[in-house]
Amino acid sequence: MNGKDCSPSPQETEVVCAADGITIKMSDCVIGDNEVQLIDGNCETTLNANGTESILATKLNECGTTAFHKGDCIMFSNQVIFTPPPLNGIRLDKRIAAQVDCFFNATAQATNYFTAVNGSTPQGIQLKSVFSLGEDQISPNKFLTEVKIFEDDRYAEETELRMNMGEMIYGSVRAAHPIDGIYFTIQSCAVVETESGQEYFFIENQCPNEEVNAQLAIPDVEEVRFAFKAFSFTKSYGKNISVSCQIMECSAEDPTNPCEVSPKC
């Protein structure tokens, strides 16, 4: 296991992309006696060896990882750099750098499901996103946002959602674990009646709906707030409704990202 018998190929290396970071699994023959690091050589990465494989792990915002838009995805990139050991004060082999890219969809659906009970609604949250490795491998992961409902426009005290007609509802989409360099905006939000499929958009194409006095804050790293006037459908078929928002995540390192495009309201 001298680091020369194996190359960091797909057969010897596995990259796992997840919401909490990137994990790179390499067979021990890939690493051998090499010194292994990511782009930021001063970063303390986690390297665990178990006798058959070594695991290198980093957060999405650490160790020189960069984020850029590529099509409809955000691409997180880094490199695993292998430095051969010196021999009698000299190096006979070149350093090798293996590119590591993680793609995930820049849009996701954040939905707050609830059931109307005597004018109030117990809150439940279901959040989904899709991460992909390369263009072929797709695996679901929990997105880094959550929907919150608040008592008033101070957005301080959380509460159950109450659809009392005429009253303002204050809510936000919050990043559960903010990532440096990544911020987001709300593309659309709708109230949907589950049984009938009826839906009403109080935010559409980043534009608040004036019919319900909707409001939408600017893109942010941690939280994007919204508000709208409560209402009811004229033809109601049940008590199960949801508030569903489409989120767009953007990279601050990319000046052409979609969050910087002003909506035409």
Per-residue pLDDT of the chain (265 residues; tens, 9 = 90+): 455 667 777 777 888 887 778 888 888 777 777 888 888 877 766 666 665 677 888 888 888 888 888 777 788 888 888 888 887 777 677 778 888 888 877 776 666 555 443 333 323 322 222 233 333 333 333 445 777 888 999 999 988 777 788 899 999 988 877 777 788 899 999 888 877 888 999 999 999 999 999 999 998 888 999 999 998 888 776 567 777 888 888 888 788 788 888 888 8
* Longest CA span, the chain: 84
Collapsing DSSP states into helix, strand and coil, what is residue 241? strand
Nearest-angstrom CA–CA distance, 202 and 243: 10
Torsion of the alpha carbons at 226, 227, 232 and 238, rounded to the nearest 10: 40
| Element housing 31 (H / E) | helix 28-31
Q: Write down the domain spans for the chain.
A: 13-104, 106-253
What CATH superfamily classification does 13-104 receive? Zona pellucida, ZP-N domain (2.60.40.3210)
Q: How far is CA 119 from the centre of its chain?
A: 33
Nearest-angstrom CA–CA distance, 114 and 191: 11
Same fold, 13-104 and 106-253: yes
Nearest-angstrom CA–CA distance, 122 and 127: 17
Q: Which two tokens stand for residue 237?
A: 């078929």
CATH number assigned to the domain covering 106-253: 2.60.40.4100
Backbone Cα Rg of the chain: 23
DSSP 134: T
Residue partners of 157: CB distance under 8 A and separation at least 6: 150, 151
